[in-house]
Amino acid sequence: MTEHTHEPTPLARYAWLSIAAALITIVLKAIAYWVTGSVGLLSDALESIVNLVGAVIALIMLTIAARPADEEHAYGHGKAEYFSSGVEGTLILIAAVSIAITAIQRLLAPQPLEQIGLGLGVSVIASLVNLGVALFLARIGRRYNSITLEANARHLMTDVWTSVGVLLGVGMVSLTGWVRLDPVIAIIVAGNIIWTGIGILRKSVLGLMDTALPEELQTRIREILDQHSQGEMQYHALRSRQAGARSFVSFHILVPGNWSVHRGHQLLEEIEADIRRAIPNITVFTHLESLEDQASWKDTTLDRPDLTSDQPEP
C-alpha cells in the first residue's frame, strides 16, 4: 500500500535567482580585481564563475527532478538533484586548485596592489548580494529539503566568508605594505573552498547510496508507530531513504489474523496519514501481516529467506 503527498513545489525558479546573483558578483569582482590587481579578489571572481556554472546545472537538474514519475522512473526523478550537487562540488574543488596555483605564483613573485579602496568597495557590494541570496536559498532548501538549493546556499555562504577573508587580507596589505599577505589569504581561501567542496560531494554520494532519513525523522516515525502499537498492533522492517526532496519509508504492520481486511486497511490509513502530517513530501509503503503467521517474522531483512524449505514435500 502506498500513499503520496501533494505535488512538490517546483524549485527550478529559485535557481534563476542564483544565476542572477552569480552574474552580478562576477562583474563586480572582476572590476575589483581589475582596479586593484589583487589575486585574492581574483580568487573571489573565479569562485563566482563556479557559482554560475553550478547554478546553471542546478536549474537543469531541478527541472528534471520536478518531472512526475513515469514508467521508467516509477519513484520519480528526485535523485537528479544529487548529480547537480556532485558536479558543483567537483567544480568547487577545481576552482580551489586554480586559486592555489595562482596564489603560489603571486607569493613567489609579489606585485603591489592598486586603488585598494575602490576595489574593496566593489567587493563588499558583491558580498552583500551573495549573502542575501545565500540566506534566502538556505531557507528555501531547508523548507523543501532540496540538496541542490542547500549546496548553492552553502557555496554562496562560503563565497561570502571567502570575501571577508580576502577583504581583510587586502586591507592588511594597505596598512602594512606587506604584499605577500594577499596570496597567503588566497591560499587560505582555497583551503576553505576545498573543505566545502568535499562536504558537498560527500552528501551527494550519500544520497546516491540511498542513505536513510536523518535520525530525528526516523525517531518521529517510530514515535507515531509506537502510538498505534499500544494495542494489538506491532511493526517491524522499518526502512527509509532520501531521494532529493522526496522521502521514502516502508514498514510491516502486524495485526491479529482474525481482523477483517477493512479493519487492517483502516489502521494503515491512519498510520500513513499521521506520518504524512509529520513529515512533508514523503511516500509511505506499508505491508499488512498476521501476528500468528510464522512467515510474518521471517521477512524483517532486506533479502527474505527462502521459505519453501519449510514446506513439506508433496
**For position 29, which CATH number holds?**
1.20.1510.10
Least Cα distance to 95 among 208, 213, 194 occurs for 194
Contact yes or no for 270/234 (Cβ under 8 A): no
With both helix axes pointing from N to C terminus, report the angle between 116-144 and 39-65 in degrees, rounded to the nearest 10.
20
Identity (one letter) of the amino acid at 83?
A: F
**Domain assignment of residue 309, yes or no:** no
**Domain assignment of residue 138, yes or no:** yes
Query: What is the structure's pLDDT at 112?
Result: 63
The position carrying cell 524449505 is: 309
Contact yes or no for 170/104 (Cβ under 8 A): no
For residues 60 and 194, state if they share a domain. yes
For residues 51 and 29, state if they share a domain. yes
Contact yes or no for 283/250 (Cβ under 8 A): no
Q: Considering the entire predicted model, what is its pTM? A: 0.65
**Domain assignment of residue 308, yes or no:** no
For residues 255 and 140, state if they share a domain. no
Residue 295 belongs to domain with CATH number: 3.30.70.1350
Query: What is the structure's pLDDT at 8?
Result: 46
Domain that holds residue 254: 215-303
Long-range residue pairs from 203-208, CB within 8 A, at least 24 positions apart, any chain = 203/85, 203/147, 203/151, 204/82, 204/83, 204/85, 204/86, 204/89, 204/147, 204/151, 205/86, 207/79, 207/81, 207/82, 207/85, 207/147, 207/242, 207/243, 207/244, 208/79, 208/82, 208/86
How far is Cα 310 from Cα 231, in angstroms, rounded to an integer?
Answer: 31
Would you say the C-alpha torsion 217, 220, 226, 228 has a positive or negative sign?
Answer: negative
For residues 250 and 111, state if they share a domain. no
Per DSSP, 214 falls in state P
For residues 26 and 167, state if they share a domain. yes
How far is Cα 251 from Cα 225, in angstroms, rounded to an integer?
Answer: 10
**Domain assignment of residue 197, yes or no:** yes
For residues 199 and 233, state if they share a domain. no
Q: How many domains does the chain have?
A: 2
Query: What is the structure's pLDDT at 305?
Result: 66
Query: What is the structure's pLDDT at 21?
Result: 87
Helix or strand run (H / E) with residue 267:
helix 261-278
Identity (one letter) of the amino acid at 251?
A: F
For residues 183 and 46, state if they share a domain. yes
**Domain assignment of residue 294, yes or no:** yes
Identify the domain boundary among 174, 208, 242: 208
Cell digits of residue 80 = 537528479
**Domain assignment of residue 134, yes or no:** yes
For residues 197 and 219, state if they share a domain. no
**Domain assignment of residue 313, yes or no:** no
For residues 265 and 153, state if they share a domain. no
Q: Sheet of 234-243: strands edge to edge? A: 2-3, 282-290, 246-255, 234-243
Beta strands in 96-218 (DSSP E): none
Count CA within 13 A, CB hemisphere, residue 123: 34
For residues 62 and 186, state if they share a domain. yes
For residues 134 and 261, state if they share a domain. no
Identify the domain boundary among 180, 208, 236: 208
For residues 106 and 177, state if they share a domain. yes
Identify the domain boundary among 208, 233, 252: 208
The mean pLDDT values, 10 residues at a time, for the chain of 314 residues are 48 86 84 71 70 84 83 80 81 78 78 61 81 91 82 78 71 74 77 83 81 90 90 89 86 93 93 93 92 84 63 46
